[in-house]
A = this chain, B = another copy of it.
Amino acid sequence: MVLKYILLGLLSEPASGYELKKTFNDSLNHFWAAELSQIYPTLKKMKSEKLIVSKRMRSVIGPDKKLYSRTKKGKEELLKWLSGKPLYGYYRFHYAAQAFFLSEKKDAKKALQFYCELREMFQTKLAELEQIEESLKGMEPGWLDVLPEESFYPYLTLRMGIHKMAGNIAWCDECIAHIERRVHKK
């Protein structure tokens, strides 16, 4: 139930479900995602658990919205989660599954093509993240040290995405070199 804790974390400022979804799109997207159809029921459940309260608000544009705020109990729950050990989980990489069985194709050139396509995908993702980083960066050299904490820690997770993608690209380059050497040896 990680979504619950993420919503709790985002509700340091009151927000509606719809607004929370937008935050996902532009702040947490490189490591998490959630659809509205999941957010709404989760908020409902959190409210029944008294982790948050809601207030009906008139919206200037569009229909009324429900502004959710975190309760004291909610804040405690969040801190408890943050105090736990970092949790790793298990990951499923679809492209790795494909890469694992590449020998079935009996054609090293196809394998080479696969890794080149994969590299391009990673390169695109990396460029996206670097663009976000660029827009965040101040122009003075000490900008990072004066960033407020609420922006500093999220920035570090953006760096995670960048490191991951760089690692992926390095992997692809290595694989491409290995496969090419094999092709030429033959």
Contact = CB atoms under 8 A, between A and B. Distances in A.
Given A171-B160, A174-B159, A181-B145, A98 B103 contact: no
Nearest to A175: B156
Nearest to A144: B178
Given A12-B104, A97-B5, A97-B31, A86 B178 contact: no
Given A5-B97, A101-B78, A104-B82, A92 B31 contact: yes
A40 interface: no
A91 B87 CA distance: 14
A154 interface: yes
Interface in A58-99: 75, 78-79, 81-99
Contacts of A57: none
30 contacts: A2-B92, A9-B97, A28-B97, A31-B96, A31-B97, A82-B101, A82-B102, A86-B94, A86-B95, A86-B99, A86-B117, A86-B118, A86-B121, A88-B95, A88-B121, A88-B125, A89-B92, A91-B91, A100-B153, A101-B153, A102-B153, A103-B149, A103-B153, A145-B181, A152-B178, A156-B178, A163-B170, A163-B171, A166-B167, A167-B170
